[in-house]
Amino acid sequence: MIHLPNIPLPQPANTQLADYQREIDLLPNYETRVERAQERFSSLNRKGHPAFDTVKATLSKMSVGVQRCAYCEDSLADEVEHIRPKALYPELTFAWMNYLYACGPCNGPKNNRFAVFAQGTGVHTDVGRRRNAPVVPPVPGTPVLLDPRVEDPMDFLSLEIRQTFLFTATAAPGTVAYQRAKYTIDLLCLNSRESLPRTRYHAYRDFLMHLRGYVQDRAHGHAPEHLQHLAHDIQTRQHATVWREMKRQHPVIPELKRLFEAAPEALGW
């Protein structure tokens, strides 16, 4: 999971979202706003709706690879995900910065689960609403879940790229940063889905093969246009986190060290 580029939503769509949000915000009580938020989003988030077609097109441009999920980077991103669930935060139902493109296998388990560090105490607090529980506002606080729209998850997460291809926290246990990393890994099932470590391994081999090809063609004096094409191919592949880790860990992995020394410009991709 990487920090997504910040591409502004075109103004007509932004204005339309603001109008939809205003409808919800003007309702008299929280429970009514929650109910209306879910109904309204479901009815509007459809193919052919101008504002949401624009939302999806813009989120697609921000996606990893060719419209890959912002969380797992593996599956097709085809769901407009609310980072803060609309069932808990109806005031963010139509907030552009609360959207990202995700896949069903990530969005489904996450659903309306969410946690905050409670305001005043800093205690890690689950604010997800259980079935048939009273519909009341969540405890105020700062999110535990990492948000790739506004921060770089790679500051909190490390991906092992020699054997396991599993995520771990970069910070020490007990710290806020550690809690955020572990919660994100667990909530999104980034390690527990059996297929994901395997696909990361295959992505690593794929990146390695393309980097070898680039270094070889560079050494043979191929035209700059050809090399630019190869570089673009690497930069637009899925599993961008794997590529980021290859760059970050290259000093301690001999083959990567050799390849990046032969083509140091690749560290900037």
Please give the chain's pLDDT, 269 residues, in tens.
999 999 999 999 999 999 999 999 999 999 999 999 999 999 999 999 999 999 999 999 999 888 999 999 999 999 999 999 999 999 999 999 999 999 999 988 898 999 999 999 999 999 999 989 999 999 999 999 999 999 999 999 999 999 999 999 999 999 999 999 999 999 999 999 999 999 999 999 999 999 999 999 999 999 999 999 999 999 999 999 999 999 999 999 999 999 999 999 999 99
pLDDT at 65: 86
Q: Residue 69 in contact with residue 76, Cβ under 8 Å?
A: yes
The DSSP secondary-structure symbol of 64 reads B
pLDDT at 109: 86
pLDDT at 77: 93
Q: Bridge-partner residues for 126, per DSSP?
A: 115
52-58, long-range: CB within 8 Å, 24+ apart, which pairs? 52/13, 52/80, 54/9, 54/10, 54/12, 54/13, 55/9, 55/13, 55/17, 55/80, 55/96, 55/99, 56/80, 56/101, 58/7, 58/9, 58/10, 58/13
pLDDT at 128: 94
pTM: 0.92
* Residue 188: Cβ-neighbour burial (10 angstroms; 0-12, 13-18, 19+): buried
pLDDT at 66: 87
